[in-house]
């Protein structure tokens, strides 16, 4: 997973994003149709980094693939922003991709609507956290298909991986929202790799100085930590062998 996320952070062209997706899923007609459909609707849109917007849903779809998402989830990931951010109507999704995929896209769009209602802008950290908690509660109560939450977590992970394109205030606010809303959801769903990465990225933007100190400490004592870990593993193996577990 770390290799995939590193590859994603280095992607700057649509072709690179497509090649990454095709390396994790079958290059079939349904996937190609969804890419073309999304690319058409997002063709005049760009991210804050200046990259074509279509790179984002393709990268989200790649992350969904890496976590074992089915074809419907991958297609929904490719289409997840077209209803929210373009003139596309959900009826067109139903017509071209079927009701199941349309329902997933509707669920992802609904998350945005709930967020706009519950997550109120505020300069107060306490008020932001309170509204974020309310948002998380509404989110868990309103989304019936867990696949929607998995796709949303992958979406948030890609946004966090590319957060450096935003200003410092937005980086901090999005990171706080991630820590309060999405990390607990990832924990509840048992997706520890997403949970851990979201926590790590959030901490990096909320507490940059503390993050740097911890990172430097770990790097400086990495060999020592590894030796202690190896010693612990050896003791556990010896104990298990002695008691007939190996």
The residue from 51, 71, 84, 100 that is catalytic is 84
User: Residue 222 CA to chain centroid, in angstroms?
Assistant: 28
* Selected catalytic residue, list 85, 92, 100, 118: 85
Distance CA 105, CA 152 (A): 10
Q: Is 85 annotated in the active site?
A: yes
Q: Which residues are catalytic?
A: 84-85
């Amino acid at each position: 997973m770390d290799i995939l996320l590193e590859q994603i952070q280095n992607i700057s062209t649509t072709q690179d994003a497509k090649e990454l997706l095709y390396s994790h899923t079958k290059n079939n007609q349904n996937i190609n149709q969804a890419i073309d459909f999304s690319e058409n609707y997002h063709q005049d849109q760009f991210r804050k980094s200046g990259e074509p917007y279509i790179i984002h849903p393709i990268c989200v779809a790649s992350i969904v693939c890496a976590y074992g998402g089915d074809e419907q989830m991958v297609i929904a990931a490719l289409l997840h922003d077209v209803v929210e951010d373009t003139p596309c109507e959900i009826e067109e999704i139903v017509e071209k991709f079927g009701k199941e995929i349309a329902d997933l896209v509707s669920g992802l769009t609904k998350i945005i609507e709930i967020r706009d209602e519950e997550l109120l802008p505020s300069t107060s950290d306490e008020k932001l956290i309170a509204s974020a908690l309310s948002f998380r509660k509404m989110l868990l109560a309103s989304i019936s298909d867990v696949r929607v939450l998995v796709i949303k977590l992958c979406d948030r992970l890609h946004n966090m991986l590319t957060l450096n394109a935003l200003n410092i205030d937005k980086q901090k606010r999005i990171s706080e929202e991630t820590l309060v809303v999405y990390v607990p959801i990832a924990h509840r769903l048992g997706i520890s790799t997403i949970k851990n990465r979201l926590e790590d990225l959030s901490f990096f933007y909320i507490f940059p100085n503390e993050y740097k100190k911890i990172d430097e400490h770990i790097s400086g004592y990495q060999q020592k930590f590894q030796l202690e870990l190896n010693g612990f593993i050896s003791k556990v193996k010896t104990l298990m062998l002695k008691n007939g577990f190996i």
